[in-house]
Chain A
Amino acid sequence: MGAPAGSVVELLTARFPQWVIASHAYRGDQTVIIRREGLLDVCWFLRDDQAVAFNVLMDLSCVDYLTFGRQQASAPMMRSPSPLPYFMKPKPAGAEAWQRHVDEEFRFEVVYHFYSTIKNHRLRIKVPVAVGDPVVESVTRIWKAADWFEREVWDMFGIRFRGHPNLRRLLMYEEFQGHALRKDYPITKRQPLIGPVDQDPSAPKVPIIVGID
């Protein structure tokens, strides 16, 4: 928000031209899209440079763009959305039109929201990730908050963070199959029931499996 964050985008673009893919300020949210390889460089800079001083990693999440712009409307029988009446026509987008700036092969985007308690400004960093190689560098050494956030992203999206000290599932249990917030994970999918954990490892294991899919 405001002028200082605008200069952050310029600063980043000037300093890391090889990593910055694009930037925009849709609805006032300053956003920079960077290449995966430059994430750690950019993050160390963002935290340690006095001019930007992003000392808080406010949020870390991920978006799966698999069905972006192609998902059916919520009415199951309707192939295409019905036309809007004249009084509900969307405002012309104009200069504020939002673009993804990334090819479709990069299915995921890991999204970082930063805040600076010193400068009182915010920044969003997005890192495109392809589904074939869903690995991002961990930023746990820079902000401790990343620990649980990254575990949650691994849990929900199946994106691995290289260098994370303890990349376990966070919200789901270890036996959960799949990653629930991926767009190709059906909301009606059933998980196999897991029985009680055997106290005696030598006891014969009888899997209790009821209803797969």
Chain B
Amino acid sequence: MSAATATQSRHMFLNVGPQHPAMHGIVQLVLELDGERVLGCDVEIGYLHRAFEKQCETGPYNNAMPYVDRLNYVSPMINNFGYCLAVERLLDIQATERCQYIRVILSEISRISDHLTCVGASAMELGAFTVFLYMIKARELLWELIEDASGARLTVSYGRVGGVKADLPDGFAEKTAAALEAVRRVLIECDTLLTRNRIFVDRMQNIGVLSQEDAISYGVTGPFLRATGVNYDVRKAQPYFVYDRMQFDVPTGEHGDNYDRYLVRMEEMEQSMRIVEQALARIPDGPVMVDPEGREIPAAMMVDEAKVGQTGCFKSARVTPDPTLWGSTKPFHSGVNAAEKRAVLPPKEDTYGNIEGLMHHFKLVMMGHGIRPPKGEVYAAVEGANGELGFYVVSDGGDRPFRLRVRPPCFTIMAALPGLLIGDMLADIVPTFGSVNMIGGELDR
């Protein structure tokens, strides 16, 4: 009897997830382990599947907006605008200049908050809890900006086909500048805490390496692809909205490991802040509607005057409700939404003021009416926080999307995940998986 048979070794199978503290969502990794080394890995997804694509086929185009929010619940603005862009291209309409700037600004703010979440959470899992708290504090400032604009923090539903839900509120630029300054300070602090931290570097460098060929073959995009050295960013390569007018750099890494992905994300936040500042400096005012006879009165003034009983002047006056969510005392902007009557809801003053406006509103919101793009198909891609977010919309001329396919950025990264994990240690799964920034909502749809 040889010694080999006396001490037989077998590989161990270990389930990580579906519920696990280090899993950023519900996903199962079935691992084959030799000691602590990962020999095999199988990724099971689908735990958060909620039939997004099927559901979207059952309702009018604008009804998909809340579902689109939930695809990536950390940066829902980008999803909103990506979907709007696809439907707008199907309709062959274009959002107004001011609207496009608003979309760029809010997309970039969302991207920063997404990267803050990703870097903060993966640092926390390596023990750097301070970084997590700092970054979540900074994210809070950004979410306040998003709340000011849209009225919600996560489930924003801010995009509309042909425009956005509301104009930016008063003082948005100043508040954004203050928030960005605070975020910059946080980033400097976190950079000091992490980038040259021996423990952090040891855990991140040369871990979870993805080669450039594999990344391209797996269809990986976003910071993941750029960390391998490929300079591909939808905002630069095929600009949409007004990204072609913005000055920004696309940071790339060279090793394709966790550390490079961390560096790329940190640099992208800085670039996003540059874009926000440029866009805020250049954003044009919409044409402010003024009646030459001064007949239009803001709704707030009407309420005030009605309170003191001066209602005689209301007969011939047109009321101009405020397009922002900040109540009616703020200055008025029009021109946020496209002047496209087939798709865009009329201003509320028209809806409540004249029969054409009411009919128009009715025709767009009632069941069986709504937006009806001509027969056709369109694929529109935007740069999500994790990579290319594509919407493939097929219309059969009806008021519902005939088919709405989402190309989720996480999906391809998760498909490539076994290749990243195999060969590393069990404990390396945590930083590698953290750098994937898996979002269950868009992965499982």
Contact = CB atoms under 8 A, between A and B. Distances in A.
B420 to A, nearest CB: 13
Contacts of B53: 156, 181
Given A58-B390, A59-B392, A87-B360, A71 B342 contact: no
Closest 3 CB pairs of A and B: A75-B368, A145-B219, A98-B376
A44 interface: no
Contacts of A131: none
Contacts of B360: 85, 87-88
Contacts, number: 161
Interface stretch (B4-12, B165-173, B404-412, B427-435): B404-412
Please classify the interface of chain A as helix (H, G, I), strand (E, B), loop, or mixed, using the class held by over half of its residues.
Answer: loop
Contact of B217 (A1, A122, A144): A144
Interface in B204-250: 214, 216-219, 221, 230, 232, 237-238
Interface of A: 1, 26-29, 31, 55-59, 61, 63-64, 67-69, 71, 73-75, 78, 81-82, 84-85, 87-91, 93, 96-98, 111, 113, 117, 120, 122, 124, 143-145, 147-148, 156, 169-173, 180-181, 185, 187
Nearest to A90: B374
A98 B217 contact: no
Nearest to B402: A68
28 contacts: A26-B378, A28-B89, A29-B378, A29-B379, A58-B219, A58-B388, A58-B407, A69-B397, A71-B396, A71-B400, A73-B368, A74-B58, A74-B368, A74-B370, A74-B399, A75-B368, A82-B369, A84-B372, A87-B356, A91-B342, A91-B374, A113-B390, A117-B230, A143-B218, A145-B412, A148-B411, A148-B414, A156-B53
A73 B46 contact: no
A185 B214 CA distance: 36
A55 B49 CA distance: 29
B54 A187 contact: yes
A56 B151 CA distance: 38
Contacts of B444: 171
Given A29-B377, A68-B396, A75-B369, 14 more contacts: A26-B376, A59-B390, A59-B392, A69-B375, A73-B400, A74-B60, A81-B398, A90-B374, A91-B92, A93-B374, A113-B390, A120-B237, A171-B49, A187-B55
B300 to A, nearest CB: 30
Interface of B: 45-46, 49, 51, 53-55, 58-60, 89-90, 92, 214, 216-219, 221, 230, 232, 237-238, 341-342, 356, 359-360, 363, 366-370, 372, 374-379, 381, 388, 390, 392, 394, 396-400, 402-403, 405, 407, 411-412, 414-416, 444-445
Contact of A85 (B216, B363, B411): B363
A1 B379 CA distance: 12
A69 B396 contact: yes
Contacts of A61: 392, 405, 407
Contact of B238 (A59, A88, A120, A185): A120
B398 A71 contact: yes
